[in-house]
Amino acid sequence: MFIARAAWRLLVGSVILLAAVPALAEWAINMPRGVTPISHEIYDLHMTIFSICVAIGALVFGVMFFSIWKHRKSRGAKADNFHESQTVEIIWTVIPFLILIGMAFPATKTLIKMEDMSDIEMTVKITGYQWMWHYDYLEDGVSFYSRLDANSNKTRQLDSGLNPGDVPDYLLNVDKPLVLPVGVKIRLLTTAADVIHSWWVPQLGVKKDAIPGFINEFWTQIEQPGVYRGVCAELCGKDHGFMPVVVKAVNQDEYQAWLQSQRDVTPKTASL
């Protein structure tokens, strides 16, 4: 009775608390499908493994609950005395082993594809700093820093008196986004200048640590124009929560025009 009352009070308190909150973040119950071939592979793999796990769970718990209901004491069921069965033990060992092998094949295929650096058309080096990103287009001689945008930075200050709800993409916007062309296979190199960071954009299906003195590599190929947002996913210090990632994907003509505009800027100005 005590446990039931405590559970009821907890439920009522949770409902009251949720009702009192003026705004909640979007409740997403699944990962995004994304806009890159790798993100599609990851999503499909996730759904395949999830479906297998749901089927296994439904079968196991279905048999268990049926057995409990069918052989309950109120129906006069009597416990049987029996010893271990070597056949049963072999069966319940072999079947999970085969299921795991079946899961390993598509997972390995996706992992190999994620590491395939063939046919790369351009390379961007990403360096993490406390607390901003530096992007360097290696073939084009363009580089710049990307920081939290001024509106978010001003609003986040203690006693700023500003309402975060009035700031578009609060804490998820930057002063200069990473601009990339669509339909191009791009190699991204990550490193860091101080502590470990992690460059993560869910819609691109990429998340890679940026480690001082070490270079990680991965690739992406964005299929449709748009703005895709992410964050630093590695606790990197007091301003870890104010280090967003913004990727702006554009068509080739717009990308070439942007690239030329960056080349026209002096190197000193470009890095500010």
The predicted pLDDT at position 30 comes to 85
- In the sheet that holds 197-201, the strands lie side by side as 178-181, 244-250, 226-232, 197-201, 206-210
The predicted pLDDT at position 260 comes to 92
How many residues in the chain? Answer: 272
d(CA 72, CA 97): 32
The predicted pLDDT at position 27 comes to 65
The predicted pLDDT at position 7 comes to 47
The predicted pLDDT at position 5 comes to 52
Chain-centre distance of CA 75, in angstroms?
51
Percent of the residues in the chain that have a pLDDT greater than 70, as a whole number: 87
Under the banding of pLDDT at 50, 70 and 90, the label for residue 267 is: low
Q: Is the pLDDT of residue 119 over 70?
A: yes
Q: Is the pLDDT of residue 142 over 80?
A: yes
Q: Is the pLDDT of residue 75 over 90?
A: no
Over residues 185-228, the pLDDT tens digits come to 999 999 999 999 999 999 999 999 999 999 999 999 999 999 99
What rounded mean pLDDT belongs to the chain? 87
The predicted pLDDT at position 122 comes to 96
The predicted pLDDT at position 26 comes to 59
Under the banding of pLDDT at 50, 70 and 90, the label for residue 159 is: confident
* Domain boundaries 122-270, corresponding CATH code: 2.60.40.420
The predicted pLDDT at position 85 comes to 84
Average of pLDDT values for 103-123? 94
The predicted pLDDT at position 22 comes to 43
**21 or 151: which leads in pLDDT:** 151
pTM of the model: 0.79
